[in-house]
Structure formats: C-alpha cells, structure tokens
Structure 1
Amino acid sequence: MKIATMTIASAALVLSGCDMFNAKLPANDVDAAKTCWPVASGKGYNNGNFSLADMSEVIGYAVVVAKAEPGPNIFDKVNKVTNTKPTDEETQKMKMNLDSLQSQCRARFPVAAGSVAPTLPSDSVDKANWCVMAATFTESLAQGGVRLTDAEKQHLDAVKRTATANFSDAALEAKGFTSTEQVTDYSQKQADTMMGNRLDKVLAACPTS
C-alpha cells in the first residue's frame, strides 16, 4: 500500500498562483478528478510536506480516476494515477486557477472534500478489515513524508492494535475463508469499497478498543 508522495509533491511545487482565467472542470467525473487531484496537491503542499487531511483529499480525487481503471487492486491503481503527471498545458491552466478549481472540485466531489462522513461496515470482521487497511495505508503515507500529529499517531496505533486483534484467522474462518486466495479476493473487494470514502475520515471512525 504505497503512493507516489514524491511525485505528488513535485506536482505541487509547480502549482502555485492565483486565478487568472475562468477555468471550468470537465463535465465527465473521471476527467474532472484528473484535474482535481493535482489541484488539491498544489493547495495542500506546505513547507515540504502534506498533512493527513490534505493528502486524503488528494487521494480522494485519485480514487475516482483509479476506479475507472482495470485491475483488482485499488491501492496499485491509485499509485498509478498519482504517478501520472499533468501535461505542461494542463499544469499552466491549473496554476492560474487553483482557488476556483479547488472550489469546483470540492463541490463536485464532496467525499474527497471531507464533507461526507463514512459509514463503516456493521459486520465486525469487515470493519476490522477496513480499519487494518486504513491504518496500514496511513502508515505508508507517513513513511513517504505525510505529516501526522501526535494525536493522529496515537489514534493510528490504537486503531491498528484493535483492528488487528479483530481481524484474526479464526474470525476469517468463521466467515468461510479458508485459503489465502479467498482472503486476498475478499480484502481487495473490501478495499475497493473502503477507498470510496475519504481515508482520514475512515481512520477517525475506526474503533480504538
């Protein structure tokens, strides 16, 4: 579960400026999200790194693009999306319209913007799976340079400890999963659904005991 934080950071470095043109997002959601993730990176990059909230917004838009791509692993697809740099023309357009485009992106994609609360699964094993994946992904982001506050680090540790205890072999067997292949297929499907929510919001909703 890795993401191209350095690529996102490099994109953000060239995206700074003020509105000069009346740019509009494409009508197609996937095309719009292709604009929105670099816009969010340009607005969220601060003194060499991203906060978890800012990176979660970037990822939220990237997920919209990733879900339209073939392949079962949502994390790999998000990484591929964020490794695709905008063209020079697209970069210049975004650079001159960051504030306007940010507002449009947040209105178009309220989940990525953080205005929609996630609903975690009611099934305890499914919920634990979501929380293990959210915690593991967040750890990989932190290793890549995303800044976590002390409170976020403490919460992350508690979430991972609790979720790992509930996502046991015995619990999986009780759901009928008896092979590695079955568990992998199950987790990939759960991940695809989980990543339809904003990462930091999922993590915040995960139980800590």
Structure 2
Amino acid sequence: MLSRSLGEHIHLITSLDRQLWPLYADASQLEQILVNLAVNARDAMPTGGTPSIDTSNAELGNDAGTPLQPGRYVRLRVSDTGTPATAAPVSHQTTEPATRTSPHETILMDEDDLRQITARILTRAGYQVLSATGGTHAIHLAHTHPGPIHLLPTDVIMPKMLGNEVAAQVRQRRPDLSVLYMSGYAGPVLTENGTLPDGVTIVEKPFTSRELLDRVYTILHTATRTRDAVRQ
C-alpha cells in the first residue's frame, strides 16, 4: 500500500526481522502510525528519496538510557533521507472540534488495497460497514442489502472496474447514495485526464484516520442537509 501511494519518486525499503517476538498491540493504530510517518517522509522529500522501515527485537537493561522499564521489546524504526529539521518558526494553531452526533450511517466498502484498514477506522468510529471484495461484489451488495446504504468509498482505479463505473451501477439501485473517491493522485489530475468528472469528492492516499473521518462526516451530513432542503 505504501509503495503504491508514496509515488514513483519515493523508493521504500523494508528490513523485517522474521524471528520477531510476539507483540500485543492494536493493528489499525500501528498501520496509521506507519501511514502518518510515510506521509511526513514523502513531504520531506519532494524531489525523491528513500524511506526505510525495519523491525527487530530489543532487550533493554537498567543501563538502556531510556524511560522504558527493563525487559523485552519489539522495535519498529522508520527513517528517511529527507530534511530532519527546519528553521521555520513553530505555529501553534488550534481549532475547536465540530460537535457531532453518534454515527448511524451504513457504508459500503469496495476498495481492495485499503479496504481492511479503512473498514476498521470506520467501524471504530461507529459506522456500520459492509465490506465487498471488489466492484462486482459491491454492486451485488447494493442490490441485495435490505437496509439503507448512505456512502460508497471507492478507489478511482481498480483492477477490473473503475470506481466511477462501480458508482454508476450502484446508484442505479440507490440514486441517493453518496460517493467518496480515494486515489493517490490529486483531484485536478484525475478530472483533467477524464478519469473522474468535475465536482466529485476525493480523499488522497495515503490519508490519516482523522482525514478520512472528517471527509466521511462532511459528505454524509452535506447529503443530509440537501435532502432535508429538498423535502421542505
């Protein structure tokens, strides 16, 4: 996922210990940590570079020089060849989080590469997620699921069907369905070459869990306000 999303000018290297000790951790949080660090690395290397990820066992003693308790640990290390520091002043900007009601919408996932991690993010946030194995399966679920479906997140380019083809067929059955496109390319590039029409909502990969949830919340509640206005 990271190799495809970082771009052709970024060469990802991994060195993974095959004798790694078992680790008790939240898989989705670890994945998000790696995505965040990879995005930071990409931004620090605009002309290209090499991020690397390595894992190893580490047994720390009393003289380890860290705040960690002595014992056995698994080390995950991420590094890159981009800038380590900046002379720019620190900007402290805070925004108040929007007041949100508990999610109740149903989301149909058909994107292969990010389906599992995206589904976990949405499920943890309270959404009901229907996971499809691809575009054809998503279309089948759209026709057979007995309840409402509010959103279809779909990759722009998939092995067998384009995202807009899936969306068009799903909307034949559910015309009020909202669609969120996901791609490693910026929206203007996709609309310029005809892959997507103008005016669609897109989130660029790799994205953080907060970016995804913010985009999902916005598109769902914009659709709700639009339907309410039409009814009035």
Higher relative helix content: 1
Q: TM-score, normalising length from structure 2?
A: 0.29
Q: Whose radius of gyration is greater, 1 or 2?
A: 2
Q: TM-score, normalising length from structure 1?
A: 0.31
Higher relative strand content: 2
